């Protein structure tokens, strides 16, 4: 197999070599990236701003590439330090495979840091976008329904603004290919401003110059009294992903199919559901052979608020959704199945 690995360029950038999606780190600035999933689309990350100083002023620290034994996945850890004022650290963990980029972004904000504002950056999508859809965070638990695509004319406009992040932003290019931005399962971390108090969060999706832009303001201090001090700094992590490529057809021929909608009523973040899924895969490993494709029918994912699903029983209400957890399960399953030349795909039912 032609392993893909990160290579450092003469100008100090890190670039993913080999065929497939293009990925460059520290471009356009320290800690940021430029992703080219395929010709005709470029995704650029926007800088985070913890307090006064933006990520572009950070000093590049740790840069550590990794790749899986079979070469199917690569990952990269980066750390950047802003030395001005109360020093802060911004970390990113990137995980890239043939059709997705999963990211965890972290902020290390010392207790002495005054949490007046925290912007986690965002994304700019540049390409021939023809249509889009925004999946809003629902107010009630249940299966997440995705709206129909809306034509995208490229004119400057605010397409979404809210205190909760959209669970997903979907769009279709002029050539028919589709791309998805998805918030991670940790919706409660994105919406933590309400839990901290005396502050607001604002998430915006807008079109500008023909591009589609997502921005993430996690916290802006809004005191209820003039003499109230801002809250102290804290560590804050969020996860998200970008998906591309055509999903498997629901009527394709599979070696075996598990309809999770019929088998499990709980969300996939719950430990019993995760155990059930992994057991289902393990019982098929012995018979799996080259070319076998196993499928799990998932619908649109489930939005849930039960903190016990996240091993946080002391909490009562932690909003999360399980589609990112299902994608992580699929990555785990494929690590096992690839040893036999088989694979697992997630599909939607015909009615979803």
Residue 23 has pLDDT above 50, yes or no: yes
Total residues found in the chain within this entry: 352
In a domain, 1, yes or no: no
Question: Does residue 250 form part of some domain?
Answer: no
What's the number of domains the chain is made of?
2
Regarding whether 294 and 239 lie in a shared domain, the answer is: no
Entry pTM: 0.92
Percent of the chain residues topping a pLDDT of 70: 94
Provide Rg for the chain, Cα atoms: 21
Q: Can you give the pLDDT at residue 206?
A: 98
Contact 253, 239 (CB under 8 A): no
Mean pLDDT of 272-282: 94
Could you tell me if 84 and 151 lie in one domain?
Answer: yes
The enclosing domain of 91 has a CATH number of 2.70.98.10
Q: What is the pLDDT of residue 312?
A: 63
Phi-psi label, residue 303: left if phi above 0, alpha if psi -120 to 50, beta otherwise: beta
Same domain, 237 and 337: no
One domain, residues 236 and 328 = no
- Residue 249 belongs to a domain: no
Token output for 121: 């950056």
188 with 267, same domain: the answer is: no
| Domain-embedded: residue 48 | yes
* Interacting residues of 11 by C-beta distance below 8 A, sequence separation 6+: none
* Higher pLDDT among residues 125 and 313, named by residue: 125
- Full domain range(s) for residue 314: 256-347
């Amino acid at each position: 197999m032609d392993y893909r690995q990160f290579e450092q360029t003469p100008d100090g950038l890190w670039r993913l070599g080999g065929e497939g999606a293009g990925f460059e780190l520290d471009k356009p600035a320290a800690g940021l990236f430029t992703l080219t999933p395929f010709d005709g689309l470029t995704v650029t990350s926007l800088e985070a701003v913890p307090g006064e100083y933006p990520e572009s002023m950070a000093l590049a620290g740790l840069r550590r590439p990794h790749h899986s034994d079979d070469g199917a996945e690569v990952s990269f850890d980066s750390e950047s330090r802003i030395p001005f004022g109360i020093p802060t650290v911004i970390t990113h963990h990137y995980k890239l495979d043939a059709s997705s980029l999963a990211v965890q972004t972290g902020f290390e904000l010392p207790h002495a840091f005054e949490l007046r504002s925290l912007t986690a950056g965002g994304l700019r999508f540049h390409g021939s976008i023809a249509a889009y859809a925004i999946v809003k965070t629902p107010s009630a638990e249940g299966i997440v329904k995705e709206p129909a695509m809306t034509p995208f004319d490229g004119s400057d406009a605010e397409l979404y603004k809210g205190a909760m992040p959209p669970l997903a932003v979907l769009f279709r290019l002029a050539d028919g290919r589709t791309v998805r931005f998805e918030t991670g399962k940790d919706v409660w971390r994105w919406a933590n401003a309400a839990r901290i108090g005396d502050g607001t969060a604002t998430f915006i999706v807008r079109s500008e110059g023909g591009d589609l832009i997502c921005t993430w303001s996690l916290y802006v201090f809004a005191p209820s009294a003039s003499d109230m001090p801002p809250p102290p700094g804290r560590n804050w992590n969020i996860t998200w992903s970008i998906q591309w490529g055509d999903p498997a057809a629901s009527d394709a021929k599979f070696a075996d199919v598990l309809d999770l909608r019929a088998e499990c009523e709980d969300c996939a973040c719950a430990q019993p559901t995760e155990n059930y899924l992994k057991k289902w895969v393990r019982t098929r490993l012995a018979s799996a052979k080259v070319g076998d494709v196993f499928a799990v029918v998932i619908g649109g994912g489930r939005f849930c608020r039960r903190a016990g699903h996240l091993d946080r029983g002391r909490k009562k209400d932690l909003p999360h959704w399980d589609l990112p957890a299902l994608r992580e399960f699929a990555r785990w399953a494929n690590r096992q199945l690839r040893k036999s030349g088989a694979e697992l795909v997630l599909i939607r039912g015909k009615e979803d």
